[in-house]
Amino acid sequence: MKLNITAIADRMIWFITLIFLVLSLTISFALGDANYGAYVLFVCLFGLIIFYLIREQGVIKFRFTWMHGYMLLFIGACYLSTINAIEPSVALSRSFDIVKIFFMLIILYMCYQDKTSVDTLLKIGMWTGYIVCFYTVYFYGLDYFITVLSSSARIANDALNANTVGLLGANAIVMTLYYMLYDRPRWWNIIALPTLGILAATGSRKALVFVVVGTVLLFVFKSLRSANVVDSIAKIIGSLLALTIIGIAVLQLPMFSEVLDRMSSMVDAFSGTGGDSSTIIRLALVDIGWDLFYQSPMTGVGVNNPSVLTYFLYGKENYYLHNNYIELLAGTGIIGLLAYYSMYVYIAYNLIRYRNFHSNEYVMVLILFLSQIVMDMGMVSYESKSTYFYMMMFYLEVQLLRKGRKNEAQQVM
């Protein structure tokens, strides 16, 4: 049987991309005190280049796009923020990190720019979530997780941050449900069930909200495809009613008591009637962010420099403001905030302009995009490699939607 070198190279690109994303999230604690993690990631990127050249028979097809342009704007804003930085060295170091992510994005985009679907990227994102979740179980030990679930506690942050693990698990669960609803059930869908237990152990409020909202949106968008308006409304009402009953029943399980208590405490904190220490600290961090913003509104006090002040106040290294909007506003000012989110504005505009709710991938990409915008209010994401992986996915979906619309227009003519 003749080997298809192109297909093998393409498969290796998929596999290396998956490994790269997993390692980018786990390598800092997987290697312990070793400091060669960056070299391992570099080897992965080099492997992508090698197999890309094999697949394309030595031809490099680089296209400079709006995505690259917006990234360069943000990099410029990061370096501009060093002017009034509290610690210029910290800002320069983080700025260079973004530059390295930019080159990562160039390589990834070259590998996937000619794909006719983003399904490959969706599956990479889903399996990344599963692998990181189960590696976290391996890191702590199964007995530890069972103890956490049975004692209504939450896992520690000795490895990856608990909220990050929870969100990765939530992404994987929602994507699995997407494939079950919009494609067909497969044997590996069962992995979502133990992952739900891992999510509960993280105690992540954001993860639980995303699973609930993502599930509802998947059913709603599925129901809207009916040609009959009355039938669509009936399906939506029926789906919401069934999901409500199932959701209430699932949340009664003891393993969800911790995250539900944290949800209740969060509501109390916002209403001024109490709240847990986590929510109170996060609200205090937002106030710190606003104070830093007022010191240098246009260029900020230096990208990643809010962590300099929070270390002085809380004694924790790399302690972010837990809000991407406030973090960027404080660190890079109005210029940096606009530069970073201009890419999201571009994507949002085109997702609305070329909307296609009959496209399965469009539905999933839209849900992931909306979740990123909302979740940024409770997490700092601009420095994460996985954030730019998803940004690339969103951009490629926009390109495919635009191409599809043009093809339709040509056929009409």
Q: What is the pLDDT of residues 150-201, one digit of tens each?
A: 877 788 777 778 888 889 999 999 999 999 988 888 888 999 999 998 888 8
Mean pLDDT of 99-112: 95
Q: Is 27 helix (H, G, I), strand (E, B) or coil?
A: helix
Give the pLDDT confidence of 13-46 residue by residue, as tens digits: 999 999 999 999 888 766 655 567 788 899 999 9
**Residue 316 CA to its chain's centroid (Å):** 24
pLDDT of residue 62: 87
pLDDT of residue 14: 96
pLDDT of residue 274: 59
Q: CB under 8 Å, gap of 24 or more: what pairs does 113-116 form?
A: 113/61, 113/63, 113/396, 114/61, 115/396, 116/400
pLDDT over 50 (residue 336): yes
Q: Which amino acid is at 171?
A: N
Q: Which residues contact 182 (CB under 8 A, 6 or more apart)?
A: 218, 222, 360, 363, 364
pLDDT over 50 (residue 1): no
Pick the more confident residue, 385 or 269. Answer: 385
What is the pTM assigned to this prediction? Answer: 0.91
pLDDT of residue 367: 95
| % helix, strand, coil for the chain, step of 5 | 75, 0, 25
CA distance 280 to 186: 43
Mean pLDDT of 111-132: 95
Mean pLDDT of 376-403: 93
Pick the more confident residue, 314 or 65. Answer: 65
Q: Is 253 helix (H, G, I), strand (E, B) or coil?
A: coil
Q: Which residues contact 346 (CB under 8 A, 6 or more apart)?
A: 66, 70, 398
pLDDT of residue 145: 86
Burial 266-298 (b: 16+ CB within 10 A, else e): beebeeeeebbebbebbbebbebbeebbeebee
pLDDT over 50 (residue 340): yes
Give the DSSP letter of residue 82.
Answer: G
pLDDT of residue 410: 72
Cβ(323)–Cβ(283) under 8 Å? no
pLDDT of residue 83: 93
Q: How many percent of the chain have pLDDT more than 90?
A: 52
Q: Which residues contact 111 (CB under 8 A, 6 or more apart)?
A: 13, 17, 48, 52
Confidence of residue 126 (pLDDT cuts 50, 70, 90): very high
What does 261-295 look like in DSSP terms, one character per residue? HHHHHHHHHHHTS---HHHHHHHHHHHHHHHHHHH
Give the pLDDT confidence of 234-284 residue by residue, as tens digits: 888 888 888 888 888 877 777 777 777 777 766 666 666 656 667 788 888
